[in-house]
């Protein structure tokens, strides 16, 4: 495993994504470098109250530790407790306009003893659904991983980003994979680079299409309500969040994924025939978008 090459790619990816997002927002991302007493550190890049993004975070981290948490070795529990080296880029973007979807992307690499593996993916969480947006995002995800791998990675994403206690998906999915270590390092690393390199092409055209769509308090209220599902998933199920907290990572960076404005309502149901109901009926269910 060439850890230096992986780290160099991840830091370069963070820089490229931030530059593109600054170009579309017009604002400047704050940059916080941090270190960790147990080993390693990272760079958190964040913008809040921008022209387009209410909050957007793009994190790079590389941390070492004496005992790999169980949350990072779900596929191979025998590796839990080993010394480890973990690195990756993780981003969550929360635009202010409710017609612009929230998006998440992560690419990561772990090493524990003689074992190494990659993971990652990206997924889209709209508040108001548009067929062409979902189709574009999924088609780009398919191009990133190829026809052979896409069905399995899409299904894995649908199953992973699912709120079991609500019996509903978090959004319209995308791709997700973990424990990628076959057939060899170069092939796996190439796939991870392809996922990272396709992110901007998957998401920016959707932002450009929706950023000027007029909205009011009704749409903002629904966005805040649906963001509550995002919070629930990240705090209850997300293995990246759990790994960060269990490994003693920087809490501010780990919880940067949470939206700045969010609400919960008791037993709320969408109005029949509304755009909000359409999201539930047409978009919050697995479909072959690509």
- The set of catalytic residues is 104
Report whether 13 contacts 89 (CB < 8 A): yes
> Cα(45)–Cα(29) distance, rounded to whole angstroms?
6
Residue 34 phi/psi, 5-degree rounding, is: -140, 155
Residue 54 contacts residue 28 (beta carbons within 8 Å): no
CA gap 149, 65 in Å, rounded: 32
Alpha-carbon Rg of the chain, whole angstroms?
18
Helix axes 150-160, 131-145, angle to 10 degrees: 120
Nearest residue to 179 (alpha-carbon basis) of 231, 111, 273, 229: 111
Cα within 13 Å of Cα(263), Cβ side = 11
Classify residue 63 by its DSSP letter.
Answer: E
Residues 6 or more apart whose Cβ sits within 8 Å of residue 196 = 9, 10, 13, 89, 105, 107, 120
d(CA 288, CA 290): 6
- Give the residue carrying structure tokens 């057939």: 183
């Amino acid at each position: 495993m060439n850890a230096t090459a992986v780290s160099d790619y991840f830091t370069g990816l963070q820089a490229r994504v931030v530059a593109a997002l600054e170009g579309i927002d017009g604002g400047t991302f704050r940059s916080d470098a941090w270190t960790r007493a147990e080993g390693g550190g990272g760079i958190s890049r964040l913008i809040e109250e921008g022209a387009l993004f209410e909050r957007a975070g793009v994190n790079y981290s590389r941390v070492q530790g004496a005992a790999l948490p169980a949350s990072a070795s779900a596929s191979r529990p025998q590796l839990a407790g080993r010394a480890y080296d973990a690195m990756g880029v993780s981003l969550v973007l929360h635009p202010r306009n409710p017609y612009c979807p929230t998006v998440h992307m992560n690419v990561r690499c772990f090493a524990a003893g003689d074992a190494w593996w990659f993971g990652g993916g990206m997924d889209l969480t709209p508040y108001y659904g548009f067929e062409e947006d979902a189709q574009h995002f999924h088609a780009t995800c398919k191009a990133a991983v190829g026809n052979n791998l896409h069905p399995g990675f899409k299904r894995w994403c649908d199953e992973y980003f699912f709120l079991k206690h609500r019996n509903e998906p978090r959004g319209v999915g995308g791709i997700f994979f973990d424990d990628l270590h076959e057939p060899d390092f170069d092939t796996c690393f190439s796939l991870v680079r392809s996922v990272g390199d396709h992110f901007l092409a998957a998401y920016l055209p959707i932002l450009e299409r929706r950023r000027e769509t007029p909205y009011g308090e009704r749409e903002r209220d629904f966005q805040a309500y649906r963001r509550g599902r995002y919070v629930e998933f990240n705090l209850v199920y997300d293995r990246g969040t759990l790994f960060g907290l269990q490994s003693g990572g920087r809490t501010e960076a780990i919880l940067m994924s949470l939206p700045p404005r969010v609400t919960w309502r008791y037993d709320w149901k969408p109005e029949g025939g509304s755009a909000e109901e359409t999201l539930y009926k047409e978009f919050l269910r697995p479909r072959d978008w690509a």
